[in-house]
Chains A and B, each alone.
Chain A
C-alpha cells in the first residue's frame, strides 16, 4: 500500500501498487478481492483505475474484521490482490447520450471510475449529472474532488439524510434531487450504486424521468468468497453477482429486487 487517505471517520482510500507482478487491466465497475494476511478476504470495488503512477485505488468502509484490518494498515503494508472480477459500467453504450449517476453512501466509490472515465472524454457524453446521497455531511466521500468534477462539466448535487448545523447544502433523500436534473430522460443512460433500498427507489425515480429500465445499470452486492462462480455464496436469483455482475441492467434485475430475502 503506497498510501492511505482518510475519507471519513470510517472510510479510507487505499492506493495499492504491485509488488511483483502487475495487475491485469480492469474496467470501470470491476472489483478486486483484497486479502489481509491471515485475516481474510473481501470484495472491494475499484474506485480508481491505475493511471500513470500505476496505483489502483480502493475505497473501503471499515465494517468488519477484514475491512477493519485493511483500513488500519499503514503505508508500506502488503495486501493480497486478485482479480479483477465482475462486469463493468459500459460507458461505451452511454457515449453520445446524457448520463445520470446516482450514488448512495459508499456507492460513490465504484462510480468514481465511471466519473473519471467520463471526465477523461467529456466531449463523448451529453449532459452529465451526479447525484450523491449520504447519511450526514461527515460521511460524504471524495469531498475534495466534487468541486473539481463540477467545474469540469458535471452537474454535481449532494444531499444528506440528516444535516449538521454547518451544512449549507440539500437535505432529503437523493430521489428528491431528480426533478432538478436537466437531462433528456428518453435517451439518457443511468448508473446507480448504493444500498439496495436506495437502488430501488432511485430506479423508480429514474423511470419517472423517462429513463428506460434497460438503460439503467445498477451495482449489486452479495457475500462473496471465491469471486469466480464456484462457491455459490453470491447467488441472487439466477445470477452469480461475482461473474454475471456486480453491474447489471436494471430491467433484468427488477423482478428479483422486488422479492424479499432472495
Chain B
C-alpha cells in the first residue's frame, strides 16, 4: 500500500526502461493492467508487452464526442482517459457474494464467495484524477464500520504506477477539482513522459518502499534538475490547457439551496437516463443485489452488480419509485456527486476527469449545468 510521499527519489527511464518496468512487474506475479487501444478507444486491459500501450495515439474529447487520432510523436501516454476506470478491477461489475444450500432439516448452509481477490494488480498509467477517485472509493468500501473484503484485499495488494498527464483532455477539469494533473499521493511510482530534444524518456518519482525496490532493479539513469524542470513544465502546460473549469465555491450550499431550480427541468429534457455517466464515472459506487436460485430451489446465490441511480426502480419503495421522474434522478446524481458527497465523505465525489461529459450521448456538461444554476441562483432563491 503506497504511503505518503517518502523523500523523493527520482530517476530517468528510457523506453527500454519502461519495457523493463512492465516485465519486472509481471515477473513478480502482478497482473499488469493498463491502457490499450481497442474498439476505437483507450481501454484498460491486461498488458503483456509494452507495445500494447497506445503509443502515438491521442484522444479528441468533447461533450458527447470521443475520437482517437494519431499523434506526430511516439508518446506512450499522450491522451487523457477513456471510458474505463480502475474501479472495474477493484469493484468488479459482477461478483458472487455467497452461495446457500438447503439442508435436510429445512435450514441452509452459507458458503462465502471469493473474499480474497485472486489477482494482484499492478495498475500502469494511473492519472492523478484516478488516484483521487480510488481514494474516494476507499472511503466507501473500506469504511472500518463496513469493509468490503474483496475490495480491501485487491486494493492493499495493488501496485500503482501513476502517470502525470502531458495532454489534457477536452473535457478535463482536474485543476478546478484540485485533483491533478500532477499525482501527489497514492502511487508506488509516478512517471512523467519527456519528449524533448529528440529523446524519449520518463522521469520516475518514487512514492513508496515497494516502488523504490522495483525501481532499483530497473536500468535507469540519474535525473538531473533540468529533467525535473522539464517534467514540471509538462505538467504546468497540461494544467494551463484544461478543457473545462468548474467554480466549486460553496458548491454544496449552492446546489442544496437550489433543488427546485428550473435548470433541473431543463437538463431533464435532454437526459436520456441512459446511465452512461454512472458507468464511466470512477467514483460512482451504486450496486444492486440479485438473489438467484436453481430450478429445484435447493441452491441459492447472491450476486452483486453495478447499478445506477438513473434506473427507474433504483429508489423503488412498495407502490412506486421515490424518484419517478428523470428530473429527480438527474438531480439526485449531480447533487450527490458534487454536494451531499461532501457531507458524507468530507470531499467532493467528482475528480474532474470529464468522462461523464464525453460519454453522455446528448453531451450534457456538468460544468455548464453548475454554472447555469450559479448564474441565476440569486434570482430564483432557495
A and B touch in the complex (CB under 8 A): yes
Tell whether, in the assembled complex, residue A229 and residue B318 are in contact, meaning their CB atoms are under 8 Å apart: no
Within 8 Å by CB of A64, from B318, B336, B343, lies B318
Tell whether, in the assembled complex, residue B297 and residue A230 are in contact, meaning their CB atoms are under 8 Å apart: no
Tell whether, in the assembled complex, residue A78 and residue B106 are in contact, meaning their CB atoms are under 8 Å apart: yes
Tell whether, in the assembled complex, residue B317 and residue A221 are in contact, meaning their CB atoms are under 8 Å apart: yes
Across the interface, which residues of B come within 8 angstroms of A80, CB to CB?
A: 100, 108
Tell whether, in the assembled complex, residue A231 and residue B340 are in contact, meaning their CB atoms are under 8 Å apart: no
**Interface presence of A237 (CB below 8 A):** yes
Given A225-B288, A238-B343, A259-B260, the answer on whether A38 and B293 have CB atoms closer than 8 Å is yes
- B interface residue count range (under 10 / 10 to 19 / 20 to 34 / 35 or more): 35 or more
CA–CA, A35 to B297, complex, Å?
A: 14
Tell whether, in the assembled complex, residue B318 and residue A77 are in contact, meaning their CB atoms are under 8 Å apart: no
Tell whether, in the assembled complex, residue B336 and residue A225 are in contact, meaning their CB atoms are under 8 Å apart: no
Given A77-B106, A229-B143, A233-B288, the answer on whether A37 and B300 have CB atoms closer than 8 Å is yes
Closest Cβ of chain A to B158, distance in Å, is 19
Across the interface, which residues of B come within 8 angstroms of A229, CB to CB?
A: 140, 143, 145-146
**Interface presence of A197 (CB below 8 A):** no
Across the interface, which residues of B come within 8 angstroms of A259, CB to CB?
A: 259-260
Within 8 Å by CB of B340, from A41, A233, A238, A243, lies A238
**Interface presence of B332 (CB below 8 A):** yes
CA–CA, A240 to B143, complex, Å?
A: 14
Tell whether, in the assembled complex, residue A232 and residue B307 are in contact, meaning their CB atoms are under 8 Å apart: yes
Closest Cβ of chain B to A228, distance in Å, is 4
**Interface presence of B129 (CB below 8 A):** no
CB-nearest residue of chain A to B323: A261
Across the interface, which residues of B come within 8 angstroms of A35, CB to CB?
A: 291
**Interface presence of A260 (CB below 8 A):** yes
Within 8 Å by CB of B344, from A64, A223, A240, lies A240
CB-nearest residue of chain B to A66: B291
CA–CA, A40 to B302, complex, Å?
A: 9
**Interface presence of B222 (CB below 8 A):** no
Q: Per-position contact with B for A188-222: 1 when CB-CB < 8 Å, else 0?
A: 00000000000000000000000000000000011
Across the interface, which residues of A come within 8 angstroms of B291, CB to CB?
A: 35, 38-41
Q: Per-position contact with A for B7-36: 1 when CB-CB < 8 Å, else 0?
A: 000000000000000000000000000000
Closest Cβ of chain B to A168, distance in Å, is 31
Q: Per-position contact with A for B90-122: 1 when CB-CB < 8 Å, else 0?
A: 000000000010100011100000000000000
Tell whether, in the assembled complex, residue B344 and residue A38 are in contact, meaning their CB atoms are under 8 Å apart: no
CB-nearest residue of chain B to A42: B318
Across the interface, which residues of B come within 8 angstroms of A240, CB to CB?
A: 344
**Interface presence of A63 (CB below 8 A):** yes
CA–CA, A41 to B314, complex, Å?
A: 15
Tell whether, in the assembled complex, residue A233 and residue B315 are in contact, meaning their CB atoms are under 8 Å apart: yes
Given A40-B291, A223-B315, A232-B285, the answer on whether A78 and B108 have CB atoms closer than 8 Å is yes
Q: Per-position contact with A for B270-301: 1 when CB-CB < 8 Å, else 0?
A: 00000000000000011111011100010010
Given A37-B293, A78-B107, A230-B141, the answer on whether A262 and B259 have CB atoms closer than 8 Å is yes
Tell whether, in the assembled complex, residue B286 and residue A232 are in contact, meaning their CB atoms are under 8 Å apart: yes
**Interface presence of B235 (CB below 8 A):** no
Q: Per-position contact with A for B331-354: 1 when CB-CB < 8 Å, else 0?
A: 010001001100110000000000
Tell whether, in the assembled complex, residue B300 and residue A231 are in contact, meaning their CB atoms are under 8 Å apart: no
CA–CA, A78 to B307, complex, Å?
A: 30
**Interface presence of B247 (CB below 8 A):** no
Given A37-B293, A41-B291, A261-B324, the answer on whether A235 and B100 have CB atoms closer than 8 Å is no
Within 8 Å by CB of B328, from A37, A233, A262, lies A262
User: 11 additional contacts, CB 8 Å, given A230-B146, A231-B307?
Assistant: A37-B297, A41-B289, A78-B108, A80-B108, A222-B315, A223-B322, A229-B146, A231-B287, A240-B344, A261-B323, A262-B323
List the interface of chain A (C-beta within 8 A of B).
19, 35, 37-41, 63-64, 76-78, 80, 221-223, 225-226, 228-233, 235, 237-238, 240, 243, 259-262
List the interface of chain B (C-beta within 8 A of A).
100, 102, 106-108, 140-141, 143, 145-146, 148, 256, 259-260, 285-289, 291-293, 297, 300, 307, 309, 314-319, 322-325, 327-328, 332, 336, 339-340, 343-344
Q: What are 6 A-B pairs at a CB distance below 8 A? A: A41-B291, A226-B289, A228-B146, A232-B309, A233-B307, A237-B340
